[in-house]
Amino acid sequence: MATWVLSQCGVRPLPRLYPKPRFGIPNSSLSNSNSNFVGIATSKPITTRSSSSRIRDGNWALKVSAPDKIQSIDEDETEISNTFNPGAPPPFTLADIRAAIPKHCFVKDPWRSMSYVLRDVVVVFGLAAVAAYFNNMVVWPLYWIAQSTMFWALFVLGHDCGHGSFSNNAKLNSVAGHLLHSSILVPYHGWRISHRTHHQNHGHVENDESWHPLSEKIYRSLNNATRTLRFTLPFPMLAYPFYLWSRSPGKKGSHFNPDSDLFLPNERKDIITSTVCWTAMAALLVGLSFTMGPLQVLKLYGIPYWGFVIWLDLVTYLHHHGHEDKLPWYRGKEWSYLRGGLTTLDRDYGLINNIHHDIGTHVIHHLFPQIPHYNLIEATEAAKPVFGKYYKEPKKSGLLPFHLLGVLISSLKKDHYVSDEGDIVYYQTDAKLVEN
């Protein structure tokens, strides 16, 4: 059923938006090793046109799709003028943000990175050994929760390898990334490249790769059952494996196919390598099913794997949805790397922050993905004075982030599609879907 929901439910193919991903930043900028984002930020910062110039052009108002909350025309003019507009061009540049971040935050320590890998791997095998030893239904649910979280932690470390923030050594990044991601059935290079596309186009309606909004035309083309299931839990939280095979609605391609539109011809060998590693891991699980029994493999690996998928979809969704104020999405000349990055959100996960390597500190990561995860908090604190109101302070979590479940449910009820028209658009709500 999840395949049916997340791949347009087999009802009919969606219109294809672009034959190839369109990159706002050169392809090499988020490569597996030695990211060039530092050079981009310092030598050629991204700039945007001022809001006043667009007003003089007479086109700005016609290219904006208004958010849900609009102030009435009889409000005090002073209050209106002081209202913060998250879709307006920021008064700072990417270089301004980078200058505020201490230089040591960009330094990658491979020994420290490997120490986190060692820590997580020891915990993963330790949890499995304890669960297998006791082998009772009191321990297994606790194991599944803990191990799925650790699988997610392994993914985040592999994610650092993909950005080149793990180390400056391309071979070390590739080897560690393949071991980490293949162990949780993620094709390392296939995902690395599509995730690079996401970072290069974050906040762009059509070009973004991860949790990008559906246009109203595409949304209306779905039948009622598809629309309902797409925004009803738990289906959106089971999306990742199906995304790897068939991507998101409106896009085609597979992370396992070297001929997919996701990849360039010179990336073909990388995709084949990752697909082979993924296949080897799948074969290992099949072999273990014959030696240990399929039920034991399901309990030790299968259920934690789906828990990891839920973690991944939950965290990545909440990085781009669910703020109490509507966040803009961009098209055309209104989009820039900086403005798109400022639409991402930080989240506080309480105790889980340390376990999943502070991936909830996400805004700075989006703007400067070459910063190692262990420096994200310091870099964020240094950049906050530059961000001003463009930074949305995350709500503090208790020991466990139960508050985010309410944010997720609320967002799924409100964030359904964006207008087909306009270069600055906001999520809109399908009232009929909410009533159902």
DSSP string, 411-425: HHHH--BB-SS-SEE
Alpha-carbon distances of 386 from 96, 273, 330, 366, 381, rounded to whole Å:
7, 42, 22, 16, 10
Q: What pLDDT is recorded for position 336?
A: 96
Kindly report, residue by residue over 102-151, the tens digit of the pLDDT.
Answer: 999 999 999 999 999 999 999 999 999 999 999 999 999 999 999 999 99
* Cβ(419)–Cβ(398) below 8 Å: no
Start-to-end CA distance of the chain, whole Å, equals: 20
On average, the pLDDT of the chain sits at 84
pLDDT over 70 (residue 60): no
Please give the single-letter amino acid code of residue 366: H
Residue 414 has pLDDT above 50, yes or no: yes
Q: What is the pLDDT of residue 227?
A: 85
- The residue type of 356 is H
| pLDDT tens figures, 220-264 | 988 888 888 889 899 999 999 999 998 877 778 899 999 998 899
Question: Are 345 and 359 a contacting pair, CB within 8 Å?
Answer: no
pLDDT in tens, 295-319: 999 999 999 999 999 999 999 999 9
Question: What is the pLDDT, as a whole number, of residue 43?
Answer: 35
Nearest to 46 by CA among 203, 264, 210: 203
Rounded distance, CA 221 to CA 223, Å? Answer: 7
Query: Per-residue confidence at 292, pLDDT binned at 50, 70, 90?
Result: very high
Res 274 pLDDT > 50: yes
pLDDT reading at 187 higher than 90: yes
**pLDDT score, position 8:** 35
Q: Judge contact between 154 and 184, C-beta under 8 A.
A: yes
| Residue reference for tokens 């086109």 | 59
CA 423, CA 53: separation in Å to the nearest integer?
15
Q: How many other CB atoms are found less than 10 A from the CB of residue 119?
A: 13
Answer yes or no: is pLDDT of 11 > 60.
no
For the entire predicted model, the pTM comes to: 0.81
Q: Which helix (H) or strand (E) holds 143?
A: helix 139-163
Phi and psi angles of residue 425, each rounded to the nearest 5 degrees, phi first: -130, 160
For residues 277 and 187, the answer to whether their CB atoms sit within 8 Å is yes
The confidence band for 418, taking pLDDT boundaries of 50, 70 and 90, is very high
Find tokens 């658009």 and name the residue.
425
Task: Express each pLDDT in 387-396 by its tens digit.
Answer: 999 999 999 9
Tell me the C-alpha distance between 212 and 121, whole Å.
33
Any residues with CB less than 8 A from the CB of 229 and at least 6 apart, and which? 1, 4, 5, 9, 235
The mean per-residue pLDDT over the stretch 398-403 comes to: 95
